[in-house]
Amino acid sequence: MNLYICEKPSQGRDLAKVLGCSTRHEGSLSGGNNTVTWCLGHLLELFEPHEYDPKYKRWCIEDLPIVPESYRYRVKSASAKQYKVVADLIKKADCVFIATDFDREGEAIARTILERTRYHGPVKRVCLSALDDLSIKRALNNVRDGDETVSLYYSAQARLRADWVVGLNLSRLFTLLGRASGFNGSVPVGRVITPTVALVVDRDLQIRNFVPVPYYELKVQVNTERGNFTAGWNVPEAVADESGHCLDRKFAEQAAQAVSNSDGIIASAEKKPVKEAAPLPFDLTSLQQYASKKWGYTAQQTLDAAQSLYESHKATTYPRTDCRYLPLSQFGDVSAVLHSMQAADPSLAELVAKANPSRKGRVFKSDIDSAHHAIIPTTRVPDLASMNPCERNIYNAVRAYYLMQFFDDAVFLKSVIRVEAGGHSFTARGKITADQGYRIVPVTLGLLGGEPEDEQQEDNVRLPDVQKNDPCTVTDPTILDKKTTPPAHFTEATLLAAMENIARFVQEERFKKILRETAGIGTPATRAGIIENAIKHNYIERSKKSLLATDKAFAVIPKLPAGMKSAGLTAAWEQELDKIAHNEETTGDFMQNIEKWVRSMITNYLSRSDFVISGVASEGKSAAGGTRTSAGRSNKRSSAETRKSTAVKSSVKSSSSVRKTQPAAVAPDSGAPACPNCGRPMILRTNKTKGNRFWGCSGFPQCRGTMPADE
């Protein structure tokens, strides 16, 4: 029996239809020698700490780090029934075809089950990119050997285990240290959520601390025999700041006076056609950015709609992609895709008729370094009436960006005129559309307004056809009072862009390079969840379209290690995970380094006295957009930060289930508790002034760790 394992039931049904598997069973479909079954996402998950040892139910500093000798998986309770179906079928299989999503996580979904059931037979890989019949048939005709993709599983396995070790241990560490300083909430940390929240905190701090600087612009009216136009002042370098602004109003007034009603000359005049190619089809992140700007959708709403268009409607290809190009093999489907779009929506007939399906633009590439190509419509004719408004909008955008690839470039005539008068220089810029080209598509479909800034068009400005050395007069000088403005708060769209282009926010050059190559932090599939997770943990809050850092984020993020806040950690991880995916490193070596790093982090923070979370007493959010600095908060901070290290460590220890002891002298090697600072055994001592007993480190005076003795 050939067994095909899919990721979800809908995917399984689509594959079964093409394979001719029509006989229904519980959790599978069969036909001839083929059987198709499916998972429900991940059917297995890593053990929780207390499943390795019940003592880990209580969070205790002395238990850290928690690192299993071997990582164990359990069946998700909600998926137990389907797991049994899949496991039983694997035992009967002669050959297993992995048909989950063709990426790192998809590989892991199937391979963890194969490993758990001790399957040792042949494995093949079906590389699905879309779920319409044509795409499935193409994938079935190009099945790969499982040995070619198993390293993706090892990479996913390493990523999952590393996230477990880092997230679990450091979240417990900083939560317990936070409780010792009076903070009642949790402090979740992770290699992606922490740098993401840090981005928002840093941006909000820039805005909070921004001091506007006044500057002055000068506009004049230029009059020529061929026509009149407005020009802007080119601020002399001697008085310009680094942004080219004039900060001296008196100088601007003098310039205005010097050029008022003066004779001038056209110093230069250029006009040239500029071609502009259509923007590429969407990957998930660019689609989420577009939808956020155009309709205000959250990243999660866009992902859900795109996933539904892929799975339920079969209208678009795989959405969780980081690629905006198409393989050359897709070129043969162009006419069929255009036909399906028109068949679903006859109003597109005129646009489709104007498209050139033989135009092989920059979107088609012979080699794509990605498991999936851009999001495009499929050859299946979708039922638009069955789509909800969000799905319809997303589909409309996807089909438009695909259709634009088969139109000529837009052509603009750009003009630049430089004027000299009264000892000063002025510039005017113009731009008019000579040929709409591809832009007829978004204009016709009403889809302007969501494109990224570099794809937005300037307003049409027509300048007269002046020539160099033409005479002119300058009149009506007007000084505009301006002020520098702070950067804008992050929105869903701009935060997604920052996560994708995180290299811009990293200082270390070696990490910048890696992050450029790995497309930032998180993946297109996980970034929406990361943002939602940060909101759930009260690190970020929504205020209209803005994403703002909460008081909790302002209090916690500055106290976390720089390595956790920078995307450098993710960069280093991704470099190693990529080596695992290419069989250049082992999971074991990678995990040894991760575990060593976690141990050093715990040791370092237990020896410090400066981890004090102040300025927020609980998980509560701040008022959206409100001021987060106050005298009351400053008092809390100064009070908390004066606590001694021993008090912090004592609070952590006592709140972490310190075992009770008798008030008798105990030798340092006879079962005494471990020092919270250095880990050495402690000695029961008596305070000579107060007479009370306390635990003191046996390494005194080199280590001054103390802890209260439970009488």
- DSSP of 332-401: GGHHHHHHHHHHH-GGGHHHHHH--TT---TTEES--SSSS--B-B-SS---GGGS-HHHHHHHHHHHHH
Helical pair 299-311 and 527-536, crossing angle rounded to 10 deg: 140
Is the Cβ–Cβ distance between 394 and 319 less than 8 Å? no
Q: Which of 153, 318, 325, 438 is catalytic?
A: 318
Give the angle 445-446-451 at the CA atoms, nearest 5°: 105
Peptide bond into 377 cis (omega under 30): no
Catalytic: 318?
yes
CB atoms within 10 A of CB 190: 21
CB atoms within 10 A of CB 9: 18
Helix or strand (DSSP H, E) at 137: helix 133-140
| Strand ranges (E), 162-320 | 214-224, 227-233, 262-276
Structure tokens that stand for 147 in this block: 């040995």
CA distances (Å), origin 285, targets 255, 282, 334, 570: 47, 8, 24, 18
CA distances (Å), origin 386, targets 176, 345, 347, 446, 673: 51, 13, 18, 21, 65
For residue 438, the 8-state DSSP code is G
Distance CA 440, CA 353 (A): 13
| Strand ranges (E), 532-608 | 540-543, 546-549
Is the Cβ–Cβ distance between 605 and 560 less than 8 Å? no
Helix or strand (DSSP H, E) at 682: strand 682-686
For residue 146, the 8-state DSSP code is G
CB atoms within 10 A of CB 95: 14
Furthest-apart CA atoms within the chain: distance in Å: 105
CA distances (Å), origin 273, targets 334, 355, 434, 457: 30, 23, 8, 15
Which residue, among 179, 172, 58, has the nearest Cα to 618 in the 3D structure?
179
Is the Cβ–Cβ distance between 399 and 379 less than 8 Å? no
Distance CA 659, CA 646 (A): 18
Distance CA 192, CA 159 (A): 12
Please give the positions annotated as active site: 318
